[in-house]
């Protein structure tokens, strides 16, 4: 089963998307966008940038768990992962985004 991007509107009125793996698990979530066009542009940016390993950055949270961010060419954060107990879990999450993003369908739940 292929991955999918799901677009929703947050409580703040902004558009958000998540990337879900084929099993339905959320593997990446976006920042808030002020417009639907900005949100779909963010999805296209994930599809492109997720194919370049250098665009991912694994980080350590204050509680020592790991998470990753995906950055655009301009260095801006496009999306962020959930928390992982280990760095290897973080690396697996990045691989999952790479695999799922490129051919993911877009589901608009706004």
> Looking at the domain assignment, is residue 60 inside a domain?
yes
User: CA separation (Å) from 73 to 7, 18, 19, 21?
Assistant: 23, 20, 20, 24
Range of the domain at 94: 4-104
In a domain, 70, yes or no: yes
| Residue 92: CATH number of its domain | 2.30.29.80
Contact 101, 55 (CB under 8 A): no
Domain count of the chain? 1
Q: Does residue 21 sit within a domain?
A: yes
| Residue 65 maps to a domain | yes
Instruction: Please indicate, yes or no, if residue 109 is contained in any of the structural domains.
Output: no
* pLDDT tens digits for range 57-87: 999 999 999 999 999 999 999 999 999 999 9
pTM: 0.93
**Distance in angstroms (rounded) separating the CA atoms of residues 12 and 64:** 30
Query: Three-state DSSP class for 41?
Result: helix
Tens digit of pLDDT at every position of the chain (110 positions): 689 999 999 999 999 999 999 999 999 999 999 999 999 999 999 999 999 999 999 999 999 999 999 999 999 999 999 999 999 999 999 999 999 999 999 999 98
Asked if residue 45 belongs to a domain, the reply is yes
């Amino acid at each position: 089963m292929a991955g999918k991007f799901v677009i929703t509107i947050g409580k703040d009125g902004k558009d958000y998307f998540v990337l879900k793996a084929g099993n339905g698990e959320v593997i990446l979530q976006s920042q808030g966008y002020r417009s639907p066009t900005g949100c779909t542009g963010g999805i296209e940016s994930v599809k492109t940038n997720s194919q370049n390993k250098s665009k991912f950055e694994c980080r350590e949270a204050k509680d020592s768990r790991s998470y990753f961010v995906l950055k655009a060419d301009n260095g801006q954060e496009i999306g962020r992962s959930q928390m992982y107990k280990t760095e290897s879990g973080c690396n697996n999450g990045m691989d999952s985004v790479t695999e799922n993003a490129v051919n993911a369908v877009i589901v608009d739940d706004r």
